[in-house]
Chains A and B, each alone.
Chain A
Amino acid sequence: MKKRSSYPVVFVAVAIGATLAASSAFAQSVDTARIEAGGQNDWLTYHGSYKSYHYSPLAQINASNVGNLGVAWMHIPGKSTRGLQSMPLVADGVLYYTGSYSRTFALNGATGEVIWSYFPELDEVLVARQTHSPYNRGAALGEGKVYVGTVDGRLIALDAKTGKVAWDTKLIDSQKLTVGFTGAPLYAKGMVIIGSQGGEWPGRGPIFGVDAATGKKKWEFLTVAGTDEAMKTWGGDSWRTGGGGGWMPGTYDSETNTILWGTANPAPLYDWSGPDYKTQGARPGDNLYTTSVIGLDIDTGKLKFYHQELPHDAWDFDSAVGEFLMLERDGQKLVVHPNKGGFIFVYDRNFAVKNVWRLVQNINFVKDIDPKTGALIGRRDFTAGKVTDPPLCPYIGGGISWNSGSYSPKTGLYYKIGQEWCMTLDVQKTTPVTTPQAQLNIGADFKITQPPGGEIYGHLDARDPVTGAKKWEVRYPEPPIASLLSTAGNLVFLPDARGTIHAYDAESGTELWNHNNGTGHQGGIVSYSVGGKQYIAVTAGFGGMLSDDYAATFGGVFKSMPRDDGALIVYSLK
């Protein structure tokens, strides 16, 4: 009898504790200092903190007990067209996350109980015309608000307590340009920063700085020909429709008052210029500031410094990945940034190149990149016609995709997914696109293919982030494309494409636990603590511009995998 009666008592105590823990969120506000500190129990910004480690210092769940990890609760957001791609955020026991169509939820982090939800009314006719839509990759927290972008070109602030709209600012004429926002915003120093889609879309790829309190636009930086210097790097009128954009959130360096951001590729993706790309082709010149990392003054949006990772990117291997790992090594302050082409760039805090190393084996768009200067060596510029022998490596999906790796300050290792795949092309000398239009601007027919002499595969590497020295590697038959999480519990979590989430020993790569979530992963994963209990939260749900390739390429479980479904799954120790 005593045992029986104790259950409800325990349950009530846990429920009260969870409720109190969750409600304490409303007593505090998220600000720049708090994000900078990257509090132990929270996940306050897309990349975890401004250091972009995607690391949790929590160790309650660790290598010795992870076998006891089980599902604590789930949440189904509904209408998950193209799956779930977002990174949850957590502040003081409340979990915030977004789904397709920018549906936004605030949930009790301990129980999953819905505190509030917000479904914006979108321009459905516009959404129906978009290719890179209607997924959303996350929100930002700051000053008592939740900030989320929309695919119809708006940035919306919601009251974090109630979900009521605080302001709703239209930033892009999406009717004209067809693009909007899919990436998460970044909050820092009273500003909300968000970059537009771009790339293969004809436009000039703006990044916006918006007043967090009022929603008023304070500045706009054009990633295509945004300065006089940059204008000279676009031949003819190609700057009018150059693509660019900055569709993943970067980070903030408080020491220099600078926003660090990665930019997308120029359009058309594939140019027929041949080696004379400075004067010939669809977009003659280096095409600044596409496929670049840029430093913008947070107050004014003025460009302070940049490095163009791939001048005249003719392969769609852009720099839009939002990770900027802020490290210190031998007294130097460094920034580590992955490029879609499969290289990892190491910079100082002003983007002077310190090293470049390869994460991916199958790379042939260049012979190499000079690790001292970042200069491309032996670049492969196509003329119109077939590219088959050898195929272009990597595939358009990239050697590195947009989701984030993880750096553990405890092991000193950078955990990152590499993708090994290639493509054949038929490059076309297309008619110049001179005005923004509703269509893409690709510039070639293409088809995925195996790397020369091998199979397509993906790999999780544990590397030194500065030198690239590899400690261990785990391989997968299909490249995983979700974000990673490492924790102080000596664990690395990898949610794979088939639907299984794996936990590995962070030092050795030994698999310690896995669980099948029933559908593929392509979004975020975080850890947090409520009421003294650690949780792991991951989004599951497949579909989108990369994962849509998997059914035709790999068959198997991907043939029947839904592309309009998803769930948030939260784990704790049993």
Chain B
Amino acid sequence: MNLHLKKIALLSAVLGASLACAGPVQAQSATPAPDNEALDVEQLFAGTCGFCHSDGGRAAGKGPQLMNSQRDDDFLRNRIKHGKQGAMPAFDGAFTDAQIDQMIKYIRALKPREG
């Protein structure tokens, strides 16, 4: 699979739901994507997640390697939403459940880089 080209689209309705769900003490929402624009999870890793999960999640860094993770989806979902004190921030106010599911799909599809 060529992850470089793989875009994971989320509908604006989902983003709208995300904004509506955010409470007053929740995280500032991620910059909302314009209507019908694709959300690129690989870009999300290059912008945020990859700071700790090295090489786009393919190698351990500050955080663990995500490629070939033995953790189940519920664990990953919970960790992305609620974080881990002193190790990983909580993203429950920044992303919807549907967006987090797309991140898990990206993680499951990670393969070593070619070349």
| Contact of B47 with A440 in the complex, beta carbons under 8 Å | yes
- B48 — which chain A residues lie within 8 A by C-beta? 439-442
| Contact of A129 with B27 in the complex, beta carbons under 8 Å | yes
| Contact of A446 with B55 in the complex, beta carbons under 8 Å | yes
| Contact of A446 with B50 in the complex, beta carbons under 8 Å | yes
Q: Which of A176, A437, A446 contacts B54 (CB 8 A)?
A: A446
Which size bracket describes the interface of B in this complex? 35 or more
Over the window 276-306 of chain A, the binary record of Cβ atoms lying under 8 Å from chain B Cβ atoms (1 yes, 0 no) is 0000000000000000000000000000000
| Contact of A438 with B55 in the complex, beta carbons under 8 Å | no
- Given the interface pairs A129-B90, A430-B43, A445-B45, the reply to whether A175 lies near B28 with Cβ below 8 Å is yes
A81–chain B nearest beta-carbon distance, Å: 4
Q: Does A508 contact B (CB under 8 A)?
A: no
Most chain A beta-carbon neighbours within 10 Å: one of B42, B51, B52, B85: B51
- Given the interface pairs A123-B25, A563-B86, the reply to whether A438 lies near B50 with Cβ below 8 Å is no
| Contact of B28 with A437 in the complex, beta carbons under 8 Å | yes
- B87 — which chain A residues lie within 8 A by C-beta? 548, 563
- A431 — which chain B residues lie within 8 A by C-beta? 31, 40, 43
Q: Which residues between 21 and 61 of chain B lie within 8 Å of chain A, taking CB atoms?
A: 25-31, 40, 42-48, 50-52, 54-56, 58-61
In whole angstroms, how far apart are the Cα atoms of A107 and B19 in the complex?
A: 47
| Contact of B54 with A445 in the complex, beta carbons under 8 Å | yes
In whole angstroms, how far apart are the Cα atoms of A431 and B30 in the complex?
A: 12
In whole angstroms, how far apart are the Cα atoms of A130 and B48 in the complex?
A: 12
In whole angstroms, how far apart are the Cα atoms of A129 and B40 in the complex?
A: 22
Please, which residue of chain A has its CB at the minimum distance from the CB of B37?
A431
A401–chain B nearest beta-carbon distance, Å: 15
Most chain A beta-carbon neighbours within 10 Å: one of B45, B46, B59, B85: B46
A133–chain B nearest beta-carbon distance, Å: 8
Please, which residue of chain A has its CB at the minimum distance from the CB of B60?
A552
Q: Does A227 contact B (CB under 8 A)?
A: no
B54–chain A nearest beta-carbon distance, Å: 4
Q: Which of A178, A435, A440, A548 contacts B62 (CB 8 A)?
A: A548
| Contact of B31 with A437 in the complex, beta carbons under 8 Å | yes
- Given the interface pairs A128-B83, A134-B86, the reply to whether A444 lies near B50 with Cβ below 8 Å is yes
- A200 — which chain B residues lie within 8 A by C-beta? 51
- Given the interface pairs A428-B46, A563-B87, the reply to whether A178 lies near B61 with Cβ below 8 Å is no
Q: Does B76 contact A (CB under 8 A)?
A: no
B67–chain A nearest beta-carbon distance, Å: 12
A444–chain B nearest beta-carbon distance, Å: 6
Q: Which of B47, B62, B82, B91 contacts A442 (CB 8 A)?
A: B47
| Contact of B47 with A439 in the complex, beta carbons under 8 Å | yes
Excluding A430-B47, A438-B94, 17 further A-B contacts by CB distance (< 8 Å) are A129-B89, A129-B94, A131-B89, A133-B89, A435-B31, A437-B29, A439-B47, A439-B48, A441-B47, A441-B48, A445-B45, A446-B50, A552-B60, A552-B61, A563-B86, A563-B87, A564-B86
Pairs across A and B, CB under 8 Å, 20 listed? A81-B85, A100-B86, A125-B26, A128-B89, A129-B27, A129-B90, A131-B89, A200-B51, A424-B55, A426-B46, A437-B94, A440-B51, A441-B48, A442-B46, A445-B45, A445-B56, A446-B50, A548-B87, A551-B60, A563-B87
**A residues within 8 Å of B by Cβ?**
81-82, 100, 123, 125-126, 128-131, 133-134, 175-176, 178, 200, 268, 424, 426, 428, 430-431, 433-448, 543, 545, 548-549, 551-552, 563-564
Give me the 3 closest cross-chain CB pairs, A-B, nearest first.
Answer: A548-B62, A81-B86, A552-B60
